[in-house]
Amino acid sequence: MLIGSRGLAVIYTILGAGYRAGSHGFYMLLLVAIAFFAMSLGPVVWVVISEIFPNRIRGVGTSLAATSLWVACFVLTYTFPLLNHGLGPAGAF
């Protein structure tokens, strides 16, 4: 998860710098970002959520963690167009 997070941070920083410089040809970096997410944060988060809680509270803990994750995903998805409009693509990334 740390490698994937670091990789995504580097790629999004490069994308933001590219947008700030006026270049829009960084589409291959988006594919690399998808690859980093698919090999780390995407599936591993669900495994960690299911294994981090002790058996006696696993059901409640997993449901709260999954609900929190979905709420955070909703907030990110809802606010990204607002950030993109207000800050521009460079600021949003």
CA distance 26 to 87: 19
Asked if the 2-92 domain carries CATH number 1.20.1250.20, the reply is yes
Amino acid at 16: G
Dump pLDDT digits (tens) for 3-25.
889 998 998 888 888 888 887 76
Read off the pLDDT of residues 35-71 as tens digits, 9 standing for 90 and up.
888 988 888 888 899 899 999 999 999 999 999 999 9
d(CA 55, CA 11): 38
- For the whole model, what pTM was predicted? 0.67
